[in-house]
Amino acid sequence: MSEPNLKTYWKKNIRLLLSLLVVWFIVSFGFGILFVEQLNTIHIGGAKLGFWFAQQGAIYVFLVLIVIYIVRMHKLDKEYGVDDD
Amino acid sequence: MSVQTWTYIIVGITFAIYIGIAIWARASSTKDFYVAGGGVSPLVNGMATAADWMSAASFISMAGLISFMGYDGSVYLMGWTGGYVLLALLLAPYLRKFGKFTVPDFIGDRYYSNVARTVAIVCAILISFTYVAGQMRGVGVVFARFLEIPINTGIGLGMAVVFFYAVLGGMKGITYTQVAQYTILIFAYMVPAIFISLSMTGHVFPQIGFLGHEVGTDTFLLDKLDGLHEELGFSAYTNGSKSMIDVFAITMALMVGTAGLPHVIVRFFTVPKVSDARKSAGWALLFIAILYTTAPAIAVFARTNLIHTVSNKEYKSMPEWFSKWEGAGLITFDDKNGDGKIQYVGDQAVNELKIDRDIMVLANPEIAQLPNWVIALVAAGGLAAGLSTAAGLLLVISSAISHDLIKKQLNPNISEKGELIWARIGALMAVLVAGYFGIHPPGFVAATVALAFGLAAASFFPAIVLGIFDKRMNKEGAVAGMVAGIALMFGYMAVFKLGWFVSEKPPASAWWFGISPEGFGTVAMVVNLVISLIVSRLTPPPPEDVQEIVERIRVPKGAGRAIEH
């Protein structure tokens, strides 16, 4: 594959990574730690929302993030012809 | 049948399974031994990674820790799962594409230097040994408690089993044993959790029960527990008492440390393709999340149950498990005011009851009055968790010796057969040293887990990530960064956790930026990053062929061939 194509592939990969990592940071460090008190004024079932994110919610979001990454990278690999199938 | 008979039966069956797998999955080449031939499916690898990752501490201690720490326990829940996002996005696919056998392999080749390789070997061995001592200890404790044999005999038994399948099968044997171990440990963890969730909240899933009402009332379980805590003078369960900056730093150090632990990273060398490495990280996190989202629920159930059972009750009316654990020295009661009742309160001057956090998971089935076979199952689960992690760590030590030290540095002409023999000798030595540490725990055992994560965060993580994402990073930068990171982490831990080099251990108020030794890996990692970047810009760029390696690992295509060289 040509050089400029590889460059765009890498750029798109980095953009995807960064946006997923922003979400990763917000749900754990943001919701679960930095803004836990503000979120704790809201309730989800019997738990305060900030507390819930710190003990459950963040983990669910982590899983979703990896799934999105797998799917999007699979598409990106195919689009640029660099997949390993 | 008694708990002990059940335990002998269930533990006996599981050990027979592990040994059977070891015989079936013998390693016949170094590739088999180091990376299971590189042909493990992403799902199987995900399951093995989960067992590898979840240690005796995760299984036995974590729910208990959370139970006593409340909100502060979140550092473990987020820290030990969030690292998988970093692994999946920043490390696993690229390292798989790189396609060698070990972490020092990558560091040594990417930084074209045997100095870098040697630093990586030292880190890998140090991290793995600090970690493995705790596993063998955990195995010994489970044996001692459930089979009532001496701890040291238990450790010996554990060593014999691990020796058998790690030395014979290498990564191949370990991988398939870990699949069996994951199945056993998750079953053992979930059965009591589901039973208790049903009886306390009426919900099958503990994750939902966590949010539910206490059965027969309209009070939420968590509100109830906060109320009990307030009444007894503990800080509210859902608020915690650590400072925000420390919670932040510990969580970050555990996440980054997870992504930098060599025994976790090498698991991703065993799948056939780059896309499989990504999928495998997803599977691993799914399998881990099942336990990690259950743990906080168990913590709440156990805490509520415990307070209900003991608080202000007659000492004489305590159930059987109470005196059993008292006998093991894990519960102590001191009737300070002589009223024959148990005062379990936040005020240390009045409090009469001390409970070891480790019993929360082990005693939980007894506290909830579950059948004997469930209790035996928990014992087998604890053993599976300890043994699977120990085996993964032993392999890292063994390959660091036979591959990174002997094959790559001392004797490059060694034959395939010779290297395999050395790999087995390495594994044997590692088992013996691990057993020794289990029987004679070094004084720094309390600091070991924090140290292992701190070191992984301060050394490997920045060096690997920069090696992939910063083409300009050179050996001078990486080595300077790693050495600075490790030295800082080690020094801080020595002074603030162990009180070495100073007349007395400094108090928490003297912590830098208010960050505890457990969270200091975050600071050391940032220092490593900054120093690496500065030094690399002041020294010559890496040679052309290394820059080509970086180009090559950034695209998935052609991963199959990569492992052949």
Residue A69 and residue B244: Cβ atoms within 8 Å? Answer: no
Contact B396, B102 (CB under 8 A): yes
B134 shares contact with chain A (CB less than 8 Å): no
User: How far apart are the C-alpha atoms of B386 and B367, rounded to whole Å?
Assistant: 23
Residue B247 in contact with partner chain A when CB distance is under 8 A:
yes
The answer to whether B235 faces chain A, any CB pair under 8 Å, is: no
Q: DSSP of A51-70, one letter per residue?
A: HHIIIIIHHHHHHHHHHHHH
Q: What's CA B453's distance to the chain center, in Å?
A: 9
Tokens 């379990």 sit at which residue? B344
Kindly state whether A35 is in contact with chain B, defined as any CB-CB distance less than 8 angstroms: no
What ranges do the domains of chain A cover? 3-79
Q: Do B89 and A21 touch (CB under 8 A)?
A: yes
Q: Does ipTM surpass 0.85 in this model?
A: yes
Chain B positions in Cβ-Cβ contact with residue A21 (cut-off 8 Å):
85, 89
What distance in Å separates the CA atoms of residue B536 and residue B165, rounded to the nearest whole number? 43
Task: Tell me how long chain B is.
Answer: 565
Structure letter (DSSP) for residue B514: G
Kindly list the residues from chain B whose CB atom is less than 8 angstroms away from the CB atom of residue A17: 89-90
Residues of A in contact with B213 (CB under 8 A): 46
**pLDDT one-digit tens code per residue, A5-46:** 888 999 999 999 999 999 999 999 999 999 999 999 998 888
Q: What does each C-alpha distance from B163 to B144, B156, B183, B417 come to in angstroms?
A: 20, 10, 21, 20
Task: Tell me how far apart the alpha carbons of residues A73 and B404 are, in angstroms, rounded to a whole number.
Answer: 32
Closest in B89, B212, B558 to A69, CB measured: B89
Residue-wise pLDDT for B18-27, tens only, equals 888 888 888 8
- Partners of residue B81 in chain A, C-beta under 8 Å: 58-59, 62
Q: Is A62 in Cβ contact with B82 (below 8 Å)? A: yes
- Extents of the domains making up chain B: 3-27+39-240+247-562
Confidence band, pLDDT 50/70/90 cuts, at residue A2: low
Q: What pLDDT, on a 0 to 100 scale, did the predictor assign at position B56?
A: 82
d(CA A2, nearest CA chain B) in Å:
13
Q: Between residues 269 and 288 of chain B, which touch chain A (CB distance below 8 Å)?
A: 273-275, 278-279, 281-282, 285-286
Contact B212 A60 (CB under 8 A): no
Tens of pLDDT, residues B133-171? 778 878 887 887 777 788 788 888 888 888 887 888 888
Which of A6, A33, A60 shows the shortest C-beta gap to B244? Answer: A33
Tell whether B561 is within 8 A of chain A (Cβ).
no
- Give B436-455 pLDDT, tens digit per residue: 888 877 655 555 676 788 88
With residue B333 as reference, give the H or E element that holds it: strand B331-333
Q: Say what the pLDDT of residue B37 is.
A: 83
* Nearest residue on chain B to A47, alpha-carbon basis: B211
Would the CB atoms of B274 and A6 count as touching at under 8 Å?
Answer: no
Query: Is A55 in contact with B221 (Cβ distance < 8 A)?
Result: no
- Average pLDDT of the residues of chain B: 88
Q: Say whether pLDDT at B562 is over 80.
A: no
pLDDT (0 to 100) of residue B443: 56
Instruction: Please name the residue that has the structure tokens 């492992």.
Output: B563
* B396: nearest Cα among B151, B42, B58, B135: B135
Q: What homologous superfamily is domain B3-27+39-240+247-562 in, according to CATH? A: Sodium/glucose cotransporter (1.20.1730.10)
Mean pLDDT of B358-379: 83
Planar angle of CA B448, B450, B454, nearest 5 degrees = 115
Cα R_g (chain B), whole angstroms:
24
Mutate to test the interface with B, among A38, A41, A56 (most CBs of B within 10 A): A56
The tens digit of pLDDT for each residue in B171-221 reads 888 899 999 999 999 999 999 999 999 988 999 999 999 998 988 888 898
User: Region B325-348: what's the mean pLDDT?
Assistant: 86
A63 to chain B, minimum CA–CA distance in Å? 7
Which of B54, B78, B280 is the best residue to mutate to test the A interface, defined by the most A CB atoms within 10 Å of its own CB? B78
**In the prediction, which pLDDT does A3 show?**
64
Q: Tell me the two tokens of residue B349.
A: 């001057």
By the CB < 8 Å criterion, does A71 face chain B? no
